[in-house]
Structure 1
Amino acid sequence: MILITDDLCIRLLANGAADTETDHVPVVKLFDPTGPATWLLSELDTDGDTLFGLCDLGFGFPELGSVSLAELQSVTGRLGLGMERDLYFKGRFPLSVYAEAPRNAGHITEDERLLKQAADALAEPHSELPPDTAEQTRR
């Protein structure tokens, strides 16, 4: 199977060439048909090999990062099967939402409820630092 068609390549390259850092919607989903590994990819570098997206090797800790297309094409899993492209995948949320959803699911998910919860959580303003009480006392 061709993992990245010409049409997908054009879309991935366009995302990768964006002048500003953008939270792109994933363009393609690749997976190991005999295991838990999954990749949601949104960008391709001009080298034609380096893809960026959400990578889940099946250990319960999906992370954003880069992966080599040549490496994915060369991998054979159990039963001698290579990686495959999900022909029916349609990204509906930005990559950050797909990266947030595994906090509840433990793996990349397309569950609409979990994705909406992740989108809502990312939309809520929150600070990781406690309020500066010394600053408030001085006022």
Structure 2
Amino acid sequence: MQLMTAQIEKAFKKYPLYSQDGKGGDAKIVVKYFGGSAATWLITEGEPRANGDWMFFGFCTLGLPDDFAPGKLLWEWGYVTLKQLQEVRFPPFGLGVERDILVEPGKYKVKDEVFMCRQYGRD
């Protein structure tokens, strides 16, 4: 699957790095990537790099438990590159990261997508 498309590139012109700084859960999702059993990247900002790669910022989980909230997943804000996402392989079959084709750029907020997840906070 293609992780970057012309539509996504166009959307990042509206949401470059730091453009949604301070919005937290109200930040708009440009693209959602997922893989493995629970790894999820809700990318809210991104810019191309001189080397042809992309730098992204967003709210992410690798599906690890949150030690301070039993039964919940650990989510955090952070950076990831397109190349890093393309290189990830999940055991046992070596499947890669996929793009959620139902998430349209700028249509959903981080809080709307994350809080639907039972492991985050809603039962």
TM exceeding 0.5: yes
How far apart, CA to CA, are the structure 1 residues paired with 2:34 and 2:15? 21
Aligned pair partner of 2:96 in 79, 82, 89: 82
Aligned to 2:79: 66
Bigger relative contact order, structure 1 or 2, given CA contacts below 8 A and separation 6+?
2
How far apart, CA to CA, are the structure 2 residues paired with 1:100 and 1:86? 14
DSSP-derived class of the 2:15 partner:
helix
1:1-139 equivalences in 2 (<5 Å): 1-16=1-16, 21=21, 23=23, 24-32=27-35, 34-47=36-49, 48-59=53-64, 60-78=73-91, 79-90=93-104, 92-95=107-110, 97-98=111-112, 101=115, 105-107=118-120, 114=122
Structure with greater proportional strand content: 2
Do the aligned residues in 2 keep the contact of 1:16 with 1:43 (CA within 8 Å)?
yes
Do the aligned residues in 1 keep the contact of 2:12 with 2:30 (CA within 8 Å)?
yes
The structure-2 alpha-carbon separation of the partners of 1:14 and 1:22, relative to structure 1 and needing over 3 Å to count, comes to farther
Do the aligned residues in 1 keep the contact of 2:28 with 2:109 (CA within 8 Å)?
yes
Root-mean-square deviation over aligned CA pairs: 2.9
Do the aligned residues in 2 keep the contact of 1:39 with 1:54 (CA within 8 Å)?
yes
Count of residues in Structure 1 that have an aligned counterpart in Structure 2: 106
DSSP-derived class of the 1:12 partner:
helix
State the Cα deviation string for residues 44-77 of structure 1 (Å, max 9, x = none).
1242421011111101111111111101101111
Do the aligned residues in 2 keep the contact of 1:54 with 1:99 (CA within 8 Å)?
no
Structure with greater proportional helix content: 1
Letter in 2 for 1:84: E
Q: TM-score, normalised by structure 2?
A: 0.69
Between stretches 58-67 and 82-91, larger displacement belongs to: 82-91
DSSP-derived class of the 1:61 partner:
coil
- Unaligned regions of 5+ residues in structure 1, if any? 115-139
How far apart, CA to CA, are the structure 2 residues paired with 1:4 and 1:22? 25
Letter in 1 for 2:30: V
Letter in 2 for 1:87: I
Larger Rg: 1
The structure-2 alpha-carbon separation of the partners of 1:62 and 1:20, relative to structure 1 and needing over 3 Å to count, comes to closer
